[in-house]
Structure 1
Amino acid sequence: MPADLPKGFPEPTDIGTIEVKKYPHYRAVTYRHQGDLTVATRMAFNPLFQHISTNNIAMTTPVEARYLQEGSWEETSAADVSFLYSQPEINPQTVDADVTVTDTPEMMVVSIGIQGPYTWESYQIHLDKLKDWLQQHPEYQIFGPPRRLFYNSPMTPPYLKYSEVQIPITPR
């Protein structure tokens, strides 16, 4: 990984493995993208990078994309894309109007590790694998919209890129 994980974050899930993980409370700078979700992270990069550069905040990995609910969690037309701060105590000096500072409480997720291009098709395929896993594990219920964690820079060759698809869950 080219950058550090935020304080208390678990290690990435192994490629092809499905596991339940817990995340601590964390803070991030977030850009909301409306419309075509296949370009959400690309559209968010400049405003997010400008924010951390202006505030002298170190880049961490991963970048998070949450696919937001409208009705059911499968009907998305917006995404919140975030650069995560290394510690939840960081308070930026300035925040431009096109981004917000967000706090995410502790959460439990079911996660699958992926190696390969950051395509929308890959996201959908792996999200379906997590939905199938949840069908086989009724002891958990969905507790929020799905998200994807991206661990590599745009300069990384697509076949080497690593990401995770996750669904927030809670015990029944």
Structure 2
Amino acid sequence: MSASLPQGFPQPTEVNVIEVKQYPQYRGVTYTHTGDSRMATRVAFDPLYQHISTNQIAMTTPVEARYVVEGEQTEVSFLYSTPDMTPQKIDSQVMVRDTLPMTVVSIGVQGAYTWESYEQNLQKLQHWLAQHPEYEVVSSPRRLLYNSPMTPEDLKRSEVQIAVRLNSN
């Protein structure tokens, strides 16, 4: 990783390992992309980068992509280093959003950030969840992308995650 994690974030999940992790509350700047989710991170990069540059905010890792309506709407976020960071200027293309603490089931991934890789690893998580009925899904899946576009494809690290909670039954 070339940049630091936001305050309180756990380390990335090891490659091909599925684990349950806790995330603290965090704040980030979000661009909402409507259309082909495969293009979301590419389309979102410029307005998000412009926001952090204008506000002199250091880049952190990971970039977060939340698939709000699978295949139709994606929220891509650059995360701030601390949850109390407040930008001076906010362009109309982006919004600052706070995310509450969450529990996720996560799988570590190595390789290119392709849609096929995302779908394959999402299926692995869904299979794991089917075998662990003590957890219920509470939101749409997300992907955390840890490396810059300049990182060789085979070395890139990411995670696919689904927010969960313990079943109350």
* Same fold (TM > 0.5): yes
For 1:3, the equivalent position in structure 2 comes to 3
The match for 1:107 among 102, 108, 115 is: 102
Percent identity between the aligned chains?
A: 62
For 2:14, the equivalent position in structure 1 comes to 14
For 1:79, the equivalent position in structure 2 comes to 74
Question: Structure 1: any 5+ residue segments left out of the alignment?
Answer: 70-74
Question: Structure 2: any 5+ residue segments left out of the alignment?
Answer: none
For 1:68, the equivalent position in structure 2 comes to 68
With normalisation by structure 1, the TM-score equals: 0.96
For 1:47, the equivalent position in structure 2 comes to 47
Instruction: Give matches, 1:142-161, under 5 Å.
Output: 142-161=137-156
With normalisation by structure 2, the TM-score equals: 0.98
Specify the SS of the correspondent of 2:77: strand
Specify the SS of the correspondent of 1:167: strand
* 4+ aligned runs moved over 4 Å, structure 1: none
Q: How far apart are 1:76 and its partner, in Å?
A: 3.7
The match for 2:161 among 139, 161, 166 is: 166
Task: Give aligned pairs, total.
Answer: 167
Q: How far apart are 1:58 and its partner, in Å?
A: 0.5
Verify the 8 A CA contact 2:19 2:107 in the aligned structure 1. yes
Cα deviations across residues 32-71 of structure 1 (Å, max 9, x unaligned)?
Answer: 00001111000000000000000000000000000003xx
Specify the SS of the correspondent of 2:74: strand
Specify the SS of the correspondent of 1:125: helix
RMSD: 0.6
Verify the 8 A CA contact 2:36 2:71 in the aligned structure 1. no
Cα deviations across residues 109-135 of structure 1 (Å, max 9, x unaligned)?
Answer: 000000000000000000000000000
Specify the SS of the correspondent of 1:101: strand
1:88 and 2:68 correspond: no
Q: How far apart are 1:6 and its partner, in Å?
A: 0.1
The match for 2:115 among 116, 120, 132 is: 120
Verify the 8 A CA contact 2:60 2:81 in the aligned structure 1. yes
Q: Structure 2 CA distance, aligned partners of 1:99 and 1:53? A: 13
For 1:72, the equivalent position in structure 2 comes to none
What residue identity is the alignment partner of 1:23? Y
